[in-house]
Amino acid sequence: MTATLGVAGVGTAEAAPSKKYPVSWDFRSAIPNVLNQTLDANWSPPGANDPSCTLTEERPNPVILLNATATTQWAYSAGAPYLANRGYCVYTFNYGNITPIPSFPIQGLADIEGSAREISRKIDQIMRRTGAKKVDLVGWSQGGGLLPHYYIDFLGGDKKVDKVIGIAPGDHGSTGDMLTYVRYFIPPFGPLGYDIFKALFPAFAQQAQYSDLVRKVYGNGDTKPGPHYTTIVTKYDEIATPFTNGFLEGDNVTNLLLQDDCPVDLSEHLSINFSERTWRHVRNAMAFATSRDRTPTARVGVR
């Protein structure tokens, strides 16, 4: 593992950060403080939303981290400080709240099309505040799959996004380890239960394989010209299943399977976002090129 942790090195020297933030690579360490963090409406992970952060020629794009379904900003208590320590201006926020409580600890459950409009407004605010011409999006699960893809495809995000990086992304929909098929096996209660679930928690149902939204987003191709897409996938994913759905097709795509360069990496859908190897891949994907100087990249992984 020591040798593989290096992952492919980036070609440019890293900018020296003005601050050093603590990074914890243990998913379990985030759990005890989740409630306190989410109930504080002003809380954001270390390194994120720093008003003193300034974009540079080496780091010209704000990095916006998009949460997974049923999580909030705590999801990036490892990724945000890791990137901030390397000179990136990192931004987080919550979206998809189905309650009237702004700091409700479980978010990302609302209708994904509405959430996409919500993040569109947030991205515009960040671009105005920083003066950026483009942003980089890094998302986990929904935040790396349907949500940014809808924003890019239907809300003009293809003109604003330089790079989009999906960590265990819910591309092409998920079977939820076959749970989505229950509605077919237990008629009539299966379909009824599914419809109730869909009404209460739209984002879960919309991410099911073959959902109407999945067909709408991926039906005419996986990508749009402009952004570069990177997927970081694990074969041990037990939620975004089958894991091969996470890969994309397109000339502007890099697909990465964590086990290709480290067969003993046991990351699954939750721990992948707290893996240092994951975030080294994220860093390399963002250092790969800017939209002003981009060359084709090899695709890694299988579809």
Any domain includes 52: no
C-alpha angle with apex 169: 168 to 172, nearest 5 degrees?
130
> Strand order in 63-66's β-sheet?
90-92, 63-66, 135-140, 161-167, 228-233, 253-257
d(CA 196, CA 268): 29
The partner residues of 135 in beta bridges, in order of sequence, read: 161
Instruction: Record the pTM.
Output: 0.86
Nearest to 280 by CA among 294, 262, 299, 253: 262
DSSP state of 293: B
Any domain includes 38: no
DSSP state of 174: B
Any domain includes 84: yes
CATH code (residue 142): 3.40.50.1820
Beta-carbon contacts of residue 250 (< 8 Å; ≥ 6 apart): 221, 222, 223, 229
The partner residues of 233 in beta bridges, in order of sequence, read: 257
Residue owning tokens 């399977």: 257
- So what's the pLDDT on residue 190? 57
- What is the helix (H) or strand (E) element at residue 137, kind and residue range? strand 135-140
Nearest to 166 by CA among 228, 114, 241: 228
User: Under a CB-based contact definition with an 8 Å cutoff, are residues 268 and 236 in contact?
Assistant: yes
Q: Write out the residue range of the structural domain in which residue 195 sits.
A: 58-287
Any domain includes 303: no
Q: Name the residue type at position 152.
A: I
pLDDT in tens for each of the 303 residues of the chain? 333 334 444 444 454 555 799 998 887 777 777 777 777 767 899 999 999 999 999 999 999 999 999 999 999 999 999 999 999 999 999 999 999 998 888 999 999 999 999 999 999 999 999 999 999 999 999 999 999 999 999 999 999 999 999 999 989 998 864 455 455 555 555 566 667 767 788 998 899 888 999 999 999 999 999 999 999 999 999 999 999 999 999 999 999 999 999 999 999 999 999 999 999 999 999 987 554 444 444 334 433
Any domain includes 49: no
- So what's the pLDDT on residue 284? 95
Any domain includes 9: no
CB atoms within 10 A of CB 296: 10
Domain count across the chain: 1
Any domain includes 6: no
